[in-house]
Amino acid sequence: MAEQKRGDHKASFDLFNFLYKYGTMILIVVLIIVFASVNPSFIKADNIITILRSISIVTIIAIGITISLAVDGFDLSVGSVASLASAVVISMFVWYSQPTAVAIVTAIAVALLVGAFNAFMIVKVRIPDLLLTLATMFIIQGVALTYTKGATVSENMIMPDGSYAEGTISSGFAKLGQVPYIIIIMLVVVFIVHIFLTHTKHGRYMYVIGGNEEAARLSGIPVNKYKVVAYLLSALFASLGGIVLASRVMTAEINAGGPYLMDAVAAAFIGFAVLGAGKPNALGTFVGAVLIGILANGLVMMSVPYYAMDIVKGTVLALALALTYYKSRQK
């Protein structure tokens, strides 16, 4: 009798493991079938491209969060950093008539300063990452608003002195936010970070730090150095997401990157369970973003009100967190 109970327990545990590993993939397939049965145009090539384009910015920003999670950190400032990078890159064109390379490098440099600030306050001052990056989020929002004076930065905008902005956005920069370039950028970012985290010693060191910081330190891994790198990379990819966003809409709107934060966090945490990884990883984050993109696109096709989207996304994130942390307690 006791042996039978152990067998039943083992069977249920195996089922849980199967759902943990493949549940996200199964859910994606189920959603595709459901949405395609309701609206056959859902699986047309044009709509698939639309989904990939819609998740590109989310995925790029989420990759930054994934790297911070790899060292057991968490960067909530990525949405604001994306907004700031968007404002800086467009203003370089419109206000200062700078070439594309200068505009992009300047936006990235500003974002890296934010990443360096986060790293210093977390690593040296030892402020908890969640609290510090939350504070940074509000600081950067204020900096972006102050920099743009609360206005949308665009070509031919009215300047404070009443004149019109004379700068123009280069055609080369405008292509970054168009298909297929925006999708290619996303896939390249995912591929590079996947290789970095899984096939280099530096990525493996980050995972060791995330698993047990004290053990990593005792084994000779420079923990603080890798934490600094993680927050710099998080800011880098947030700025890249903001730059691509600016290219896509050709303007810099107030807090443009803010709405991407929740989707990026959800994608990163959903990625923990993809194929049973049990840790932050680039491919899992991409799959998480695909799931969110399919949900959003399918619900729009079903005429679900836009204000209900956050309910669905929040529920998916809650389930992903529940699954991830329940699994971690079973180890």
Stretches where the chain sits below pLDDT 50 are 10-12
What's the rounded Cα separation, in Å, for the pair 85 and 93?
A: 13
Domain ranges within the chain, ordered by starting residue: 24-330
Q: What is the mean pLDDT of the chain?
A: 91
Half-sphere exposure (Cβ direction) of 116: Cα atoms closer than 13 Å: 6
- Which is it for the CA torsion 269, 273, 274, 278, positive or negative? positive
- DSSP for 60-129, written as a single string: HHHHHHHHHHHTT---TTHHHHHHHHHHHHHHHHHTT---HHHHHHHHHHHHHHHHHHHHIIIIIS---H
The pTM assigned to this predicted structure is 0.93
Angle (nearest 5°) at CA 65 between 196 and 82: 110
Answer yes or no: are the C-beta atoms of 316 and 265 closer than 8 Å: no
Round to whole Å and give the CA distance between 54 and 56: 6
The predicted pLDDT at position 13 comes to 54
Res 6: pLDDT: 52
24-330 maps to which CATH number?
Answer: 1.10.3470
Q: What is the pLDDT of residue 11?
A: 47
